[in-house]
Structure 1
Amino acid sequence: MTENAERDAIDGAHVLASLLEALAAWPDFEHRTRLSIEQEQNLTPQEAKARQDASITAVRSVADLREVQGQIRALGQLRYEPAVPTLAGLWQHCPVHPVEVDAAHALFGIGNAEARDVLRQGIHDHEHLGRFMALKVMFSNEGTAWDNVGHLFADECLASASGWAAAAEALGFLSPGMFSGSDPVWQPYELPDLLSQDRRWLDLCIRLRDHRILGRPARDALKYTDPAVTGPALDAARAARASRASRPQSDVRELRSGDLVARYESGDHRAVWSELGAVAHLDDAWRAEAEQVAALTMERVRRNAVNLAEALIARGWPVTLEKALPGPDPDVEDRLRELEQITGSAVPPALAAFWRVVGTIDLVPRDSWGEPFPPGVPEQLAVADPLEIIDLDTAWFSVDEWQDESGELHPELAGPLEVTIAADYLHKADISGGAPYSVWLPDAGADPLVRDEPHGLTFTDYLREAFAGKGFLHLDHQEEWMAHGLTRDRLAQLTGWLASVEYEHIDF
């Protein structure tokens, strides 16, 4: 053992003894169990709040937190291996979040097999740090990155939300994590040349470029790889896509003109839309039929919207009929044609018909932000996701942004055009929230999926869900509201008010 190593060992032993002495004086906290994404999602609102409260209480209960953090960091810097069991226990069970974080980084700094194995176990953790530290270990292990990480993209690993999260974050290591001005800045743990060095990563990212979850990080990795490497591979992928699109669909039945329209008019509404939704690529005959069905559907949606808006306003909901239903935009046909030219495909009939027939539905009480609601109207409904679908002219900003961002990219890297159709439920309540609800174009089907919205419904089914909830899509979160302070009396007032809203509902 060298002199420096001996001194580090003595220092490490002293620091570890001091840390153990400090921890022995801490309150007897309940161990914090690490959860997977699925386990965290299965917590009741009360359990999730209790878990959060316990962490906050733990942080506030310790007076020597900074001293303990310094000791943990010192053990990592000294790479003192006898400290690994203590640090592992803190990482896995300590409810004091800053200590948990420092323990993870100290384990990585020590870097022996035991420490790395502890961190690797966090790959399916519901918290980002657990997945991040596991991936730092996996990408820096001996052997190739593909051998260590590639298994995360196997079908069996992608069969759960935890698997998707781990795979998405693994792809995130292949692109820059931050920018200085417009210039990418690569962090030490990121891998800017991996796609150029290993064809397996290049093929993976090309295969995933349009994936609903992994597409964005896959495209980001491709964007920052040498175009001399990605260009030929993307050209080949584009040619293969065109070849597939030109093949006839063998699993689509022959359609008799007017058949679906007649069935829809006779009341077979949901079955007709289910059959339309099963056709991934509408040919001319199917598109013509879908457009007629969509026009009939959105006329019924318009009548429902008028009936519901009038009923809500009559009970005091703070919107006006003029703002809630201003009607179709006069330039909608020009916008639809322009959108088809931009994306190379007609807008899905359900969405195009909505913009033509209804235009906009806006039940969001924006004029009441910061003001008291009318007497008797439950203010909690402001965060119950009131229905909003914006018209195409208002949504055009998302088209402009997509064109600006994708103008210099290879066509296969532009990604889907994410057309915003509504704010998320928190922004609707004037609270900072998440991504807006959107549809992705091009979409060769009849009824696009509403993205970044928790129900995972097609556009037509999303409207059905909204009207079934009398204009509110977040009514299934009442337990969460109660966990955060809504009393049973207030909840009874809310449900009673909703029950008092009566309107003529027309099935569609």
Structure 2
Amino acid sequence: MWHELRQLGAHVRDPAFAGEAQAVCDEMARRARRNIDVLIERLLEQGYRFHANDDAGTPVPPLAAPGPDAEAFVDWLEKTFGPVPMVLSSWVRIVGDVWMVGTHPEWETSAAADPLVVEVAGLRYPGEDVRPSLLDEFEQWREDREGRPFRLPVAPDHLHKNNVSGGAPYGLVLPDACADALVVTEVAMSFVTYLQRVFATGGFPRWSGDDRQWAVTHALTRGLEPV
């Protein structure tokens, strides 16, 4: 199904395909949300501590659910940056913002394993509006684009997640009228492919250098839904 949707490119928005394609993306987001709920519950049971990527280890809620203005935020993204991929719309409306950075009591280097973070709407900061900072990012890109497409920042890179100075944030390429999105981490891949990799590794897709990682993540992946 994803191969077929990707083959359509921007034609996925044609009336003959748009409704079904958005439904597929919405179902992907619902499955992703259920997987994230399961991972958070299992990690908490194991004594995992969700925290910010700072020296203090400030506690952070791992999931911020979509608010009542999620649809309006998607509309703003499209008016500001052009078409956004259907999966991005689904994520904002159904999943919300996810922050899985933290420390596992049996695996102290868990923050080095690139834990799942996808934060688009700034929901972790109630009362603050993320749109001005996104506009600043956009203006900075326009001044120094050097042929690069604009990337909507959605997560710190794997080094910053581990409280180490690193590179540019992970981002989704915009504008993009396709169903799936292009996410740029250390490499570029489809957003759905990235999520598949993340859930296959229990939310921690990078080798941390600690053999205890496998035992922890294997237990986390049990019964997760395919996306």
Partner of 2:82: 344
Contact 1:308 1:503 in 2 (8 A): no
Aligned Cα root-mean-square deviation (Å): 2.7
Q: Does 1:451 align with 2:184?
A: yes
1:391 match: secondary structure: coil
TM-score (normalised: structure 1):
0.39
CA gap of 1:319–1:403, structure 2 versus 1, over 3 A, is closer
CA gap of 1:329–1:415, structure 2 versus 1, over 3 A, is farther
Q: Does 1:497 align with 2:216?
A: yes
**Which structure has the higher relative contact order (CA within 8 Å, separation 6+)?**
2
Contact 2:141 2:150 in 1 (8 A): no
Aligned partner letter, 1:438: G
Contact 1:417 1:440 in 2 (8 A): yes
Partner of 2:8: 279
Contact 2:201 2:218 in 1 (8 A): no
Alignment of 1:320-359 (within 5 A): 323-345=61-83, 347-359=84-96
CA gap of 1:333–1:415, structure 2 versus 1, over 3 A, is farther
CA gap of 1:503–1:329, structure 2 versus 1, over 3 A, is farther
CA gap of 1:302–1:374, structure 2 versus 1, over 3 A, is closer
2:2 match: secondary structure: helix
Which structure shows the higher helix fraction?
A: 1
CA gap of 1:374–1:303, structure 2 versus 1, over 3 A, is closer
Partner of 2:136: 401
C-alpha distance after superposition, 1:307-341 (max 9, x if no partner): 11111111121128981122113322122111211
How far off its partner does 1:408 sit?
A: 8.1
Partner of 1:506: 225
Distance 2:79 2:34 in 1: 31
Distance 2:204 2:180 in 1: 21
Greater Rg by CA: 1
For these two proteins, the number of residue pairs brought into alignment is 212
Q: Does 1:439 align with 2:176?
A: no
Aligned partner letter, 1:339: L
Which structure shows the higher strand fraction?
A: 2
Contact 1:398 1:419 in 2 (8 A): no
Identity percentage over the alignment?
32
Q: Does 1:364 align with 2:93?
A: no
Distance 2:66 2:111 in 1: 25
Alignment of 1:56-455 (within 5 A): 272-282=1-11, 283-285=13-15, 286-319=17-50, 323-345=61-83, 347-365=84-102, 375=105, 377-393=106-122, 396=131, 399-405=134-140, 416-454=149-187
CA gap of 1:442–1:384, structure 2 versus 1, over 3 A, is same
Partner of 2:55: none
TM-score (normalised: structure 2):
0.82
What residue ranges of structure 2 are gaps of 5+ in the alignment? 52-58, 124-129
Distance 1:470 1:274 in 2: 24
CA gap of 1:500–1:364, structure 2 versus 1, over 3 A, is same
Partner of 2:203: 471
What residue ranges of structure 1 are gaps of 5+ in the alignment? 1-271, 366-372, 482-490
2:18 match: secondary structure: helix
* Partner residue of 2:193 out of 449, 461, 469: 461
1:379 match: secondary structure: coil
